[in-house]
Amino acid sequence: MNRSSYPFHDFTRAKDNLFEALVESGETYAMLTGDTGTGKTALLRELRTKLDRARYRVLYFSESKKLGAAGLVKVTGEALRVRASICHSVNLDRLLRVLTEESRTTLLWLDEAQDLPAETLAEVRALAESDLEGSCRIQVLLVGLPRLRAELQAHPYLWRRIVVREEITGLVIDELQDFISHHFKADQSKRLCKQGQAALFERAAGAPGLLLPMYRTILRRAGPGKSKIEPELVEDALDRWELA
């Protein structure tokens, strides 16, 4: 089984646009939204591999709900080896001083950003826009569920600064067979008829993170072999998967 990401059109488009925005255009802010399982985390992994480590430092925060303003400054400071203080304002001041001398750009990637506290969003902006000359070495990528758009629109001072707003929605059905063939051995990747493929795609809504476990469930239910899997068995396997 191939564990690399299948480069479906929506995935590739969003990845390339974010790379262009952050690296080639130097945008301070960018946003990526998508439902659970559409490939946001996989996209971040691939985007990171494309970055020049001599020019960029990535700080990835996976649980934004738990990220307070002080925690953001503390972790960022530790990554840049800033001497810590018990006083938040001192830590912030020291961090901002170090950032002006940094040779690398620091990329703050905030996942599950729809749950970021308002005070943390304000601190993100303070870090990104601390230099009046516009040379602060911070870029911000906000990643989250589709409702992140509405959450950020409630902060117009920040929303209007995010000019790059990407959304990843998943595969289209014409990509399904190639996606399955990418992840499964040849003798197991072509066992669904068109009706079975349609049932699988509809249940997963095109989300790669759902298609993979669903197809594994179908194969286990069907048992070993190379024969075509009947649509009725596909439906039964998916019903059981959803109830598990």
Distance of alpha carbon 62 from alpha carbon 107, whole angstroms:
14
Regarding whether 177 and 126 lie in a shared domain, the answer is no
Regarding whether 17 and 114 lie in a shared domain, the answer is yes
Instruction: Please report whether residue 3 resides in a domain.
Output: no
Regarding whether 232 and 144 lie in a shared domain, the answer is no
Regarding whether 157 and 61 lie in a shared domain, the answer is yes
Range of the domain at 217: 173-239
Regarding whether 151 and 96 lie in a shared domain, the answer is yes
Q: Which amino acid is at 123?
A: E
Regarding whether 41 and 151 lie in a shared domain, the answer is yes
Question: Strand, coil or helix: what is 53?
Answer: coil
What digits encode the pLDDT tens for the residues 165-189? 999 999 999 999 999 999 999 999 9
Regarding whether 212 and 128 lie in a shared domain, the answer is no
Per-residue pLDDT at 1 = 55
* Nearest residue to 159 via CA among 33, 29, 62, 40: 29
Distance of alpha carbon 160 from alpha carbon 162, whole angstroms:
6
Regarding whether 107 and 93 lie in a shared domain, the answer is yes
Per-residue pLDDT band for 32 (boundaries 50, 70, 90) equals very high
Q: Give the highest mean pLDDT range of 68-77, 78-87, 156-165.
A: 156-165
Task: Tell which of 127, 151, 167 closes a domain.
Answer: 167
Distance of alpha carbon 32 from alpha carbon 42, whole angstroms:
12
Regarding whether 126 and 148 lie in a shared domain, the answer is yes
Per-residue pLDDT band for 133 (boundaries 50, 70, 90) equals low
Taking the whole predicted model, whether its pTM rises above 0.75 is answered as: yes
Regarding whether 32 and 130 lie in a shared domain, the answer is yes
Distance of alpha carbon 214 from alpha carbon 217, whole angstroms:
5
Task: Tell which of 140, 167, 194 closes a domain.
Answer: 167
Cβ 30 vs Cβ 164: under 8 Å: yes
Cβ 146 vs Cβ 32: under 8 Å: no
Per-residue pLDDT at 225 = 86
Tokens linked to 86: 């018990």
Where residue 155 sits, what CATH number does that domain have? 3.40.50.300
Per-residue pLDDT band for 97 (boundaries 50, 70, 90) equals confident
Average pLDDT over residues 129-143: 79
Regarding whether 214 and 116 lie in a shared domain, the answer is no
Regarding whether 206 and 157 lie in a shared domain, the answer is no
Instruction: Please report whether residue 1 resides in a domain.
Output: no
Distance of alpha carbon 233 from alpha carbon 221, whole angstroms:
8
Per-residue pLDDT at 244 = 67
Does residue 132 surpass a pLDDT of 60?
A: no
Distance of alpha carbon 195 from alpha carbon 76, whole angstroms:
51
- What's the whole-number average pLDDT of the chain? 91
What digits encode the pLDDT tens for the residues 183-233? 999 999 999 999 999 999 999 999 999 999 999 999 999 998 889 999 999
Q: Where are the beta strands (DSSP E) in 112-185?
A: 138-144, 165-167
Neighbours of 2 (CB within 10 A): 10
Residues in the chain: 244
Does residue 88 surpass a pLDDT of 90?
A: no
How many structural domains does the chain have? 2
Q: Which residues of 84-96 are buried (b: 16+ CB within 10 A; e: fewer)?
A: eeeeeeebbebbb
Per-residue pLDDT at 98 = 86
Instruction: Please report whether residue 4 resides in a domain.
Output: no
Does residue 243 surpass a pLDDT of 80?
A: no
